[in-house]
Chain A
Amino acid sequence: MRATGFWLALAAIIVAALAMTELVANQYYYFAFYVVLQYVVLATAWNILGGYTGYVNFGSAGFFALGAYTAIVAIKLFAAPLPALILAGGVVSGLVGLATGYLTLRLRGTFFAIATLALAVVLQTLVINWDFVGGSRGVYTMRPAVPVLFDSYIKLLFVTMLLLALAAIAASRFIERSWIGRGLAAIRDNEQAAACSGVPTLRLKLFATTLSGFLMGAAGAPFPLYVTYLDPSSAFSLAYAVNSIAMPLIGGTTSWVGPVIGALLLATAQQVVTVTISSAANLLIVGLLLVGFVILAPEGIVGLWRRLARGRRA
């Protein structure tokens, strides 16, 4: 019943989104929602590793950019269509994710986090020195002609990112509720104890790092088409690394809903202040929101909600 409800909700969202592309002409909403949904994917992806498994990835920007630059390569070499870009970006990022999975054999906690940060810097340096993808000069990606089903390219990008976000959410929810999620949680709580009680820790961790990397890369792949001009410093921007951590934290890290709520709230707030406050104060508000949220809702919004619900019943 619950599962059916979830899938019905997903289907309803897809139908609503398609209806929206027919009814709403104002393109601003698609641009804004695209960014928000992109953060839903990033936050959900981060949470599979960071929230469920307890391994903090500081280098989300690296995986995101890897997806974006894989897309550039695919466009330049094969003029590949959007779905192929997403698949390619995801696979390449997923493979790098797999490699970081082996790092977890030796590195835990902070050290793992710093290693992922270092990985992002090394990847950025490689991209900067690789002229085929534009190097430090940056690269232009012209959007292909408007696709058949939609009357503008941004609508296609929006629907694509929505599907990606829903897929990420479904995957994250499935993991949380299956034996995989319980295994990951066991690793998070005490890795040694988990290994002793027969949890296949390495395989589970590799699964988590790979899936997390795949989703981040997939989220990055359409980005060159969104922004038209991609340069390393914007692809590897600190904003991706930090937002993908801050959003699950604000929402709550133990369930699939947390990162989704966090991403919706924080990304929406960022979008809204950007286009309503015409001064430097917009970043100030984002900063205050962040500080306020983590102070007021220390276990995330989901945690706060649970506490309130419990309080009411008592």
Chain B
Amino acid sequence: MYCIRNLAAGARALAVAAFAFGLGLGFGGGVPAQAADPIKLGFGMALTGGLAGNGKAALLAMQIWAEDVNAKGGLLGRKVELVYYDDQSSPAAVPGIYTKLLEVDKVDLVVSGYATNQVAPAMPIVMQRGMVFLGLFALAINEQFNYPNYFDIQPTGPNGKVELSRGFFELAMAQQPKPQTVAIVAADAEFAKVAAEGARENIKKSGLKIVYDKTYPPATVDYSPVVRALMATNPDIVFAASYPPDTAGLVRAANEVGLKVKAFGGAMVGLQFAGLKTQLGPLLNGIVDFDYYVAEPTLNFPGIVAFVKRYQEKAAGAGVDPLGFYLPPFAYAEGQVLAQAVEAIGGLDQAKLGEYIRKSTLHTIVGEIKFADNGEWATPRVLQIQYQSIKGNDLDQFKKPGTQVIVFPPEFTSGTYQYPYADIKR
């Protein structure tokens, strides 16, 4: 008896579950698109979990873009609608989200979520349908996929991992006296490892000697043992590739331990955002770090200042990074690239869109973009920023020029590179 009841219970619950499943998935099911229907732009974005800080800021930028486009009457006379889901910072959620977007929601255009881990799982799905796919800061991903309709909006150029730290080492090697040794410290995670690999290539070219080269787990709490251990090897330069919590940990530990080196910084993620900038304040002085946009007069692309201002007005309400420098302008630019292509070919044919984006110069708030064959910017534009004369923990100083001085590349330089790091007042 017991077993039969058991089985019956199971069968009934199964039926209920299957029903619920079908009901849930049928949501927003496929109605054929008509001319008056909106053009749907689909993506998954991290709104919870570790990547959410960036994901939510990117989402806000996309929303501002959609608002702008719709205010001008939309694309091809149709409104633009964003269809997006929370990927929970989990790559495992991405394949489901993108197939849902493409097969159930029938979106017309897709862009990626934030960073490599979330872009890669979407690639096979997008490739299978030949969709144009704009990546949001995936590092060197097309090495694996070789997909002609993939374009990444991150300005790291065709050889991203090397380009990311090229400026850092060129600046350091121009110091007098010349540095001889370097320590590399990197987080045990994708971006940091790739950045460290790129740094090693630059180091090989520069003739520096590596005296310390270690990685640490991202959940590390106290970084003073790491900093002490690398200091014991007496490096002239410390190259760090880190994520926000460890960036803060390393900067504080460097300050507490009294890091005496000629140059410090590199590929530290986190300093690009208001949270760490304001909290670390003067401790940042002298650090050189990569960046893609800061409020310096040499980066005056049409529309960027207005965008950043609008973003900053909305940021508080959306609970996102109040500055909006690093990622949001590029998320907005993604929308502009798609819009320009759609308007130019007068339709949504993916092959033609891809063709257009590959061949044309695209006008965006982050400047004119031309893509190389592998879908990266043809001409890289990785900035090296030196934090200078920061006083206190006030946010407004970062909205104005002067605290985040561009020291590389020469065509955008907005101030002088100060060295050695150890002598700069903090």
**Which of A26, A153, A239 has the most C-beta atoms of chain B within 10 angstroms of its own C-beta?**
A26
By size class, the interface of chain B is: 35 or more
B9 touches A229 (CB 8 A): no
Please give, as numbers and ranges, the residues of chain A lying within 8 Å of B52 by CB-CB distance.
280
Complex contact B14–A261 (CB within 8 A): yes
Which A residues touch B144, using CB under 8 A?
140, 142
Contact A28-B100, Cβ < 8 Å, known A135-B193, A234-B91: yes
Q: Does B90 contact A (CB under 8 A)?
A: yes
Whole-angstrom CA separation of A280 from B318 in the bound complex: 12
A192 at the interface (CB under 8 A from B): no
Q: Complex Cα distance A277/B28, Å?
A: 11
Interface residue A32 (Cβ < 8 Å from any Cβ of B): yes
**A165, chain B: closest CB distance, angstroms:** 12
Within 8 A of A (CB), among B321-338: none
Instruction: List the one stretch of B64-72, B119-127, B292-300, B343-351 in contact with chain A.
Output: B119-127
How many angstroms between the C-alpha atoms of A260 and B4 in the bound complex? Answer: 16
Known A-B contacts A138-B117, A152-B128, A229-B91; the reply to A309 vs B5 at CB < 8 A is: yes
**Nearest CB in chain B: distance from A5 CB, A:** 7
**Closest beta carbon of chain A to B123's beta carbon, Å:** 6
Taking a contact as CB atoms under 8 Å apart, the answer to whether A31 and B95 are in contact is: yes
Q: Which residues of A contact B117 (CB under 8 A)?
A: 138, 229, 231, 234
Given contacts A2-B3, A227-B121, A260-B14, contact A234 B92 (CB under 8 A): yes
Q: Which of A177, A251, A269, A280 contacts B47 (CB 8 A)?
A: A280
* B189 A227 Cβ-Cβ under 8 A: no
- Chain A nearest CB from B86 CB (Å) reads 5
Are the CB atoms of B189 and A231 closer together than 8 Å?
yes
Which residues of B are found within 8 Å of A261, using beta-carbon distances? 10, 13-14, 17
Per-position binary interface string of chain A over residues 1-22, scored 1 when its CB falls under 8 Å from any chain B CB and 0 otherwise: 0100110010000000000000
B96 proximity list for chain A (CB < 8 A): 28, 31-32, 35, 271, 274-275
Return the chain B residue nearest A38 by Cβ.
B92
Cα A279 to Cα B87 in complex, Å, equals 10
- Interface residues in B346-365 (C-beta closer than 8 Å to A): none
The interface residues of chain B lying within 8 Å CB-to-CB of A239 are: 90, 92
The reply to whether A274 and B93 contact each other, CB–CB distance below 8 Å, is: yes
Chain A residues with CB under 8 A of B225: none
Q: Interface size on A (CB < 8 Å)?
A: 62
Chain A residue numbers with a CB within 8 Å of B47 are 278-280
Take A271-B24, A280-B52, A280-B86 as given contacts and tell me if A237 and B124 are in contact as well, using a CB distance cutoff of 8 Å. Answer: no
| A237-B24 CB under 8 A given contacts A143-B124, A229-B117 | no
Q: Binding site of A, secondary structure by majority: helix, strand, loop or mixed?
A: helix
| Contact across chains for A280 and B21 when beta carbons are under 8 A apart | no
Task: Pick from B99, B102, B194 the residue with the most CB of A within 10 Å.
Answer: B99
Report the minimal beta-carbon distance from A93 to chain B, rounded to whole angstroms: 18
- Does B215 lie at the interface of the complex (its beta carbon under 8 Å from any beta carbon of A)? yes
**Closest partner residue, chain B, to A25 (CB atom):** B103
Q: Give the contacting residue for A5; candidates B7, B9, B27; CB below 8 A.
A: B7
Q: Which residue of A lies closest to B105 (CB)?
A: A275
Asked if B10 contacts A257 (CB within 8 A), the reply is yes
A271 to B95, CA, bound (A): 11
Q: Say yes or no: is B257 at the interface (Cβ < 8 Å to chain A).
A: no
Tell me the B1-47 residues at the A interface (CB within 8 Å): 3-7, 9-14, 17-18, 20-21, 24-25, 27-28, 47
The answer to whether B48 has its CB under 8 Å from any CB of chain A is yes
Distance in angstroms between the alpha carbons of A32 and B104 in the assembled complex: 12
Q: In the bound complex, what is the Cα–Cα distance between A76 and B84 (angstroms)?
A: 35
In the complex, are the beta carbons of A257 and B104 less than 8 A apart? no
Chain B hits for A153, CB < 8 A: 124
Residues on A with beta carbons closer than 8 Å to the beta carbon of B193: 135-137
Main SS class of interface, B: helix
Docked complex Cα distance between A159 and B93 (Å): 19
Q: Which of B84, B88, B190 interacts with A278 by CB under 8 Å? A: B84
Chain A neighbourhood of B215, CB < 8 A: 136
- A137-B193, A306-B9 known; A31-B99 Cβ under 8 A: yes
Q: Are B123 and A228 in contact (CB under 8 A)?
A: yes
Residues of B within 8 A of A102 (CB): none
Interface centre among B96, B99, B120, B144 (most CB of A within 10 A): B96
Shortest beta-carbon distance, A255 to chain B, in Å? 5
- Judge whether A197 is part of the interface by a CB distance below 8 angstroms: no
Is A27's beta carbon under 8 Å from chain B? yes
Nearest A-chain residue to B193, judged by Cβ: A137
Q: How far is the CA of A280 from the CA of B91 in the complex (A)?
A: 16
Cross-interface CB contact of B88 among A9, A137, A142, A283, cutoff 8 Å? A283
* Nearest CB of A to B230, in Å: 18
Complex Cα distance, B104 from A138, in Å, reads: 30
Query: Which listed residue (B3, B17, B94, B99) contacts A27, Cβ 8 A?
Result: B99
Q: How far is the CA of A136 from the CA of B117 in the complex (A)?
A: 12
User: Given contacts A136-B189, A231-B189, A264-B14, are A26 and B104 in contact (CB under 8 A)?
Assistant: yes
For window 130-182 of chain A, which residues contact chain B by CB distance below 8 Å? 135-138, 140, 142-143, 152-154, 177
Per the bound structure, the CA–CA distance linking A114 and B17 in Å amounts to 33
In the bound assembly, the distance between CA atoms of A137 and B217 in angstroms comes to 12
Which B99-114 residues have C-beta < 8 A from chain A? Answer: 99-100, 102-104
Beta-carbon contact of B217 and A125 below 8 Å? yes
Inter-chain contact B27/A276, CB cutoff 8 Å = yes
- Asked if B212 is an interface residue, CB under 8 A from chain A, the answer is no
Among B94, B100, B125, which residue has the most Cβ atoms of chain A within 10 A? B100
Q: How far is the CB of B47 from chain A (nearest CB, A)?
A: 5
Measured between beta carbons, the chain A residues less than 8 angstroms from B194 are 137
10 contacts between A and B (CB under 8 A): A2-B4, A28-B96, A142-B144, A177-B3, A233-B189, A261-B14, A264-B13, A264-B21, A272-B24, A275-B25
Closest 5 CB pairs of A and B: A272-B24, A229-B120, A257-B10, A136-B188, A137-B193
- 13 further A-B pairs in the complex, CB-CB below 8 A; given A264-B13, A275-B85: A36-B21, A136-B188, A143-B124, A153-B124, A177-B3, A231-B189, A237-B90, A265-B17, A278-B47, A279-B86, A283-B88, A302-B9, A305-B12
